[in-house]
Amino acid sequence: MSNTPFEITREELSAIVEKFREVKHDINNTLAVVMALSELAQRNPAHYEKLGKAVLQRGPDVVQKLQDFQTLLGAKLKGGDISTPPPSAPTSGVF
C-alpha cells in the first residue's frame, strides 16, 4: 500500500458505516438461527436437517455480503466512488 494522502468525506464514511451495520446485522441473524437450531438439534435430532439447510442457505449470502463490503472498501482505498454499491454475484450455495 502506498503512503499517498487519503481523504474521505463524512458522507462516504457514513455510507461505509451503514453498510457495515447491515453486514453485522445479517451475520448476527444468521448466527442466531444456527445457534437456535443447534440447541434444538441437541434435544431432537430431527432438527439437524433444518440446521444443515439453514447453514447451506444463509451461509453463502453472508459470505457474499462480506465480499461486497470488502470490494466497497477496496474501491475507496483505490480512490473510487463508494456511492454505487458493487454488483452482487449470485450465490452458488458453496462456501
pLDDT tens profile 15-63: 999 999 999 999 999 999 999 999 999 999 888 888 999 889 989 999 9
- In the numeric block, which cell numbers belong to residue 67? 465480499
pLDDT for the residue 43: 93
User: Alpha-carbon Rg of the chain, whole angstroms?
Assistant: 18
Q: How many CB atoms lie within 10 A of CB 11?
A: 10
Planar angle of CA 21, 25, 51, nearest 5 degrees? 155
Query: Cell numbers 502506498 label which residue?
Result: 2
Measured CA to CA, the distance from residue 10 to residue 78 in angstroms comes to 18
Q: Look at residue 14 and give its three-state secondary structure.
A: helix
Does the model's pTM come out above 0.85? no
- Answer yes or no: are the C-beta atoms of 30 and 62 closer than 8 Å: yes
